[in-house]
Structure 1
Amino acid sequence: MLAVCGASGNLGGRTLRHLVERVDASRVVALSRTPDRVPEVGAETRVADFSDPEGLVRAFDGVERLLIISLDAITGRVPKHANAIDAAAKAGVGHVIYTSVARAGEPGNPVGVVPDHRDTERLLASSGLTFTALRFNVWPEMLTYLGIAQRAVAAGRLPGNAGDGRVGYITRDDSAAVAAAVLADGGCEGQLLEVTGPAAVREADIAEALTEATGRRVRHEPVTDEEMPTRLTALGMPAPLAEAWTEAGIARREGWFDVMTHAAERLTGRRPTSIAEFFAAERATLLAT
């Protein structure tokens, strides 16, 4: 059996859909705290709560390959990941696939979520389980979810403090397709796999892609770290978010997301979505502000 944790979530649901395109749905188990919200794809559903270690062992029974999607919680994430890893070992899961982030194991990585992912990867390495860490780069959906792209289109300028720092943006759907491929086909055992889109792009490239997608001129506006929060709040971004995005800009400038691999295309057999293609598909959203 092939199992997807977090199957009622955005990434989990997409992974399920890609998975049943590769294997018969009778081989698939959808795991969730809220199984009634799991997409209907013909798979078996089971309750799985990372706060319930004994229940997880039952949920993982008979599972050959298991996808553990990292929790969104800002605090208390690693102990719950540990519960899932321990349960997988007790249930005899053959291969665990974990959704991590870019360059999670590298010392000095300043990105706020990295310590949790690094600790989880270490737990997997010491568990005795066969595992793969899928180190996904940044989802471009973050640019629309946070309203950064829409505000840039409305204002005609994209302020940025990342300089020439590049990001290997990979869409959530492409990430799901990669996870489904490893679940379905196996392989990549023991690998800490950096997974990116087709190119690592600069903020200037994002401004150009926004211009092309919307027909509205968007100019990249380089600013200092000190100026960045003020420029963002002037565009309507809440102050805490502006501070966080400024910190992320420093990490981008320092090259922490400047990764480009062909893993996504090699594993899925399809070319991942470019930033220009992503924005073209989001044109209505970009012009709604």
Structure 2
Amino acid sequence: MTVAVTGATGQLGRLVIAGLKDKMAASDIIALARSPEKAADLGVTARRADYDAPETLAPALAGVDTLLLISGSEIGQRTAQHRAVIDAAKSAGVGHIVYTSLLRADTSPMSLAVEHRETEALIKASGLTYTILRNGWYTENYTGSVPGAVQAGALVGSAGDGRISSAARADYADAAVAVLTAGDHVGKTYELAGDSAYTLSDLAAEVSAQTGKTIPYQNLPQDEYAKILVSVGLPEGFAGALASFDVDASQGALFHDGRDLSDLIGRPTTPLSKSVSEALA
């Protein structure tokens, strides 16, 4: 069986490729990337697959049995980009698609969910067999701000007391590897989230405990939080989106109490304490 991974040079893609190499021959793994030279260190065959150059996609997928379609990063362009990949997969004779979607994409109020719903529909209409991995939030989305919070003396956001069931990126990568290499997952949709939910106040308390410093959580109005994100260098549009995701989290959009993720990977998901420790290191 030959497995191809889109976005192979991204953070999730690299972890998936590494995990696959532990489960199958490297010769049966294909890294798909816009710039395949960036995949030279992965130790597998790399092929050019540019979402915005559809003519590259079918040749890149030649001989592929199973495709992991890691959702693109360009918000607003993803449905068209994913459609191009799905069409190319069908024409190239790919047998099965695994797609990284969003937690509860069918009902989520998050603006991010729209393109995921559209992509899921395209996959189901393609006639190809599929598995949908609805990934929850990456813990790194929040722990990435931990060093800055320690320096500033406070963790800020707009998530209120919303409970967040995030998991480490490595947990989601392990789930993808499990689905790609073992068991019958055809036609299944998995809601993937961390085992233990936390609030941003809990995150701030964990940072305080590990640093020995008092790092409170300060909840801010959405607009004010977006302005802070802009002030630290984020583009205005992206800052506004991140702030809106926090508001969605305050309303429960990132909470899930299922155990699909830990069941798939055969172990508990990475605890918040470990993720904080890694961020501080």
Give TM-score, length-normalised by structure 1: 0.87
Q: How does 1:240-279 map to 2 (within 5 A)?
A: 240=236, 243-279=240-276
Match of 1:128 in 2: 127
Q: Aligned letter for 2:69?
A: I
- 1:1-289 equivalent positions in 2, closer than 5 A: 1-38=2-39, 40-106=41-107, 109-145=108-144, 147=145, 149-225=146-222, 228-229=225-226, 232=228, 240=236, 243-284=240-281
Which blocks of at least 5 consecutive residues in structure 1 are unaligned? 285-289
Distance, in Å, in 2 between the alignment partners of 1:82 and 1:31 is: 16
Q: What is the one-letter code of the residue matched to 1:76?
A: Q
Change in 2 beyond 3 A, CA 1:208/1:34: same
One-letter identity of the residue aligned with 1:65: T
What is the RMSD computed on CA atoms of the aligned residues?
Answer: 2.4
Q: Which amino acid aligns with 1:91?
A: A
Residue 191 of structure 2 aligns with an amino acid whose one-letter code is E
Alignment: residue pair count:
279
CA distance in 2 between counterparts of 1:49 and 1:224 reads 39
User: What displacement does 1:161 show?
Assistant: 3.3
For residues 23 and 192 of structure 1, the distance between their equivalents in structure 2, rounded to whole angstroms, comes to 24
Contact 2:143 2:276 in 1 (8 A): no
Which amino acid in the other structure matches residue 136 of structure 2?
Answer: N
- CA gap of 1:19–1:39, structure 2 versus 1, over 3 A, is farther
Write the distance in 2 (CA, Å) between the matches of 1:226 and 1:29: 43
Residue identity opposite 1:127 in structure 2: S
Higher mean displacement: 48-57 or 81-90: 48-57
CA shift for structure 1 position 158: 2.5
Q: Give the letter for the 1:255 counterpart.
A: G
Indicate the SS of the match to 2:41: coil
TM-superposed deviation, 1:81: 0.6
Q: Structure 2: which amino acid aligns with 1:25? A: A
Q: Report which stretch shifted further, 195-204 or 12-21.
A: 195-204
Q: Specify the alignment match of 1:287 in structure 2.
A: none
Q: CA deviation at 1:254?
A: 1.0
SS in 1 for 2:155: strand
Q: CA deviation at 1:228?
A: 4.6
Which amino acid in 1 is paired with 2:270? T
How far did residue 213 of structure 1 move? 2.6
Classify the secondary structure of the residue corresponding to 2:22: helix
Percent identity, please: 34
Name the CA distance, whole Å, in 1 between partners of 2:30 and 2:229: 44
Contact 1:210 1:218 in 2 (8 A): yes
- Change in CA separation of 1:275 and 1:68 when aligned onto 2, cut-off 3 Å: same
The normalised TM-score by structure 2 is: 0.89
Residue 237 and residue 143 in structure 1: after superposition, are their counterparts in 2 closer, same or farther (change >3 A)? farther
Does the CA-based 8 Å contact 2:30-2:45 persist in structure 1?
yes
1:199 offset after TM fit, Å? 1.2
**Aligned mates of 1:239, 1:130 — CA distance in 2:** 38
Q: Counterpart of 2:199 in structure 1: which amino acid? A: R
- Where do 5+ consecutive residues of structure 2 fail to align? none
CA offset digits 1:185-220 (Å, max 9, x no partner): 253222221111221211111111211232222122
Question: Residue 205 and residue 50 in structure 1: after superposition, are their counterparts in 2 closer, same or farther (change >3 A)?
Answer: same
Alpha-carbon distance between aligned partners in 2 of 1:248 and 1:185, rounded to the nearest angstrom: 34
Equivalent pair of 1:229/1:239 in contact (CA under 8 Å): no
More moved, 2-11 vs 40-49 = 40-49
Alpha-carbon separation, structure 2, partners of 1:133 and 1:266 = 15
